[in-house]
Amino acid sequence: MIELKPFTESDFETFKSWIHSEEELFQFAGPLIPYPVTNESLMKYIQMTDRKPMKVVLNSTNETIGHCELNFMNGQNRLSRILIGSEELRGKGIGEQIVRKMLDLLFSDSKVKAADLNVFSWNKAAIKCYEKVGFRIIHEHTDQMNVNGKDWTRLNMLLERHDYDKLEG
């Protein structure tokens, strides 16, 4: 099991150790955090008032194993920057646990009617994880991005409260 805790300055070095390339950072963070990752850029990130960055902690060891963010920019309710840092821990259902905990936090506010997220089309494991939790692709919100000369298709996925309630009920 995992727990989500505030992402703080003491987590910066662990976070930076997970990022090995500009493309890897862009896949996870988009243009928000520049490469190479610096303490200064992470400090600016955690001071943003419209975002709630969190670290993912493995309960059995108290080890920080990942990162995620709830993004409230422009009135949206978005799951963002979901990352399991260690490749050895990927594919073990931890991503689904992270997303479910994020949704529990988000939907604990009765005013929240839906949650969305963005994912690149080639990230099949992440898409499968999000679909398993109830997200669906919104095809009219798909767009293209050029990342280091490569075209990446960004998909938007949505989970409405009534679908979340069915999953939890």
Closest among 124, 117, 101, 86 to 4, alpha carbons compared = 101
Q: CATH no. for residue 134? A: 3.40.630.30
Residue 153 near residue 142, CB atoms below 8 Å: yes
With tokens 């969305």, the residue in question is: 116
With a cut of 80, say whether residue 168 has pLDDT above it: no
With a cut of 70, say whether residue 89 has pLDDT above it: yes
pLDDT band at 169 (very low <50, low <70, confident <90, very high): low
The tally of domains found in the chain comes to: 1
Tokens coding 119 = 């994912």
The amino acid occupying position 118 is: N
- Other Cβ atoms within 10 Å of 86 Cβ, number: 13
Q: How far apart are CA 167 and CA 169, in angstroms?
A: 6
Q: Where would I find the beta strands (DSSP E) of 33-149?
A: 51-58, 63-71, 78-84, 114-120, 136-137, 143-147
Q: How many helices (H) and strands (E) does the chain have?
A: 6, 8
Q: Report the chain's mean pLDDT, rounded to a whole number.
A: 96
Structural domain range at position 135: 2-168
With a cut of 90, say whether residue 45 has pLDDT above it: yes
Q: What is the pLDDT of residues 90-140, one digit of tens each?
A: 999 999 999 999 999 999 999 999 999 999 999 999 999 999 999 999 999
Strands 143-147 and 150-160: antiparallel
pLDDT, average across residues 35-60: 98
pLDDT, average across residues 54-78: 96
- Other Cβ atoms within 10 Å of 95 Cβ, number: 24
pLDDT band at 167 (very low <50, low <70, confident <90, very high): confident
